Amino acid sequence: MKTLHEMQNEVDTYIRQFKVGYFTPMENMVRLTEEVGELAREINHVYGPKQKKLTEQEKEIGMELADNLFVLISLANSMDINLTEYFNMTMQKFNTRDHDRFERIEEE
């Protein structure tokens, strides 16, 4: 399994092979918004009331999630943000602020 750090490095290696390089943060944000819309559409098809059109291709939710992850990593890389560091900070926040927010599963 790849770590988040390894994924950021792999995306960086991929992007740096092209002259255009990273898109601007604004362009990446628009791309991310497009990808989130595609993910929402697939989830709506699978779990919601909206049926696919006969002309629409089948897509996997996992692939849509991975597309979102790629663009999110691209956005972070373009701004020189270490996602592992910030993910750890976010988990610390959830583990302290929201520690008693939800009912826990009882241990046997």
Q: What pLDDT is attached to residue 51? A: 78
pTM of the model: 0.87
Q: What pLDDT is attached to residue 103? A: 85
Question: Measured between alpha carbons, how far is 27 from 29 in angstroms, rounded to an integer?
Answer: 5
Q: Per-10-residue mean pLDDT for the chain, 108 residues long?
A: 97 98 97 97 89 77 97 98 97 89 84
Report the CATH number of the 4-97 domain: 1.10.287.1080
Domain residue extents for the chain: 4-97
